[in-house]
Structure 1
């Protein structure tokens, strides 16, 4: 491919055509010989497909009720956004103008609970047992 992009050397179209003919001839020869050498793979693949379809059907019928997909919950049920206050006149006041109003409730202000327990203490193991 890099040879075709060169502009300084002349292109030998006859030679490139002969190369192309050799490639096509090799492809035809290999396509003719493929079923004799690798044809057994077709039947193995067909058996695999049948078995995988059978397994998929079994999985669909045996799926428990609690694992089935539920319809999506509409976002309006959980997200409530009040109308915005008037837009500020300056660009400096524009930064964070919605979050400054506490009545808009843009962020959920829950307390974060970080774990203060030790897994090793819960198991009754010495603290230096895992390092």
Structure 2
């Protein structure tokens, strides 16, 4: 395998025309960026006091777009009804689950809890030692 020979003086192999073209491209992109910066990022130069003065001129009201506006708060009494509780049992044994026996106060509002009859490991065909 032959080693490539590096020239003793790299300035002799330099292409000045290509380097000049690269420099011109860099300068032109810098100038274009400098022209476009105020329209894209000019809001960053506005100070906080200037923003406050502009808000005072506009009576301090900002119009938000429709998707950012919030509707007024609804009092909870309009959508929440609290029914009276059943009578408190006289024994401590009766206190256990006394509210869940009334049909309107059940804990399981969406039906009984159903558990699967099979095992995930058995369905996948894995040995029982696969999970700790």
When normalised by structure 1's length, the TM-score is: 0.34
Computing the radius of gyration over CA atoms, which structure comes out larger, 1 or 2? Answer: 2
When normalised by structure 2's length, the TM-score is: 0.34
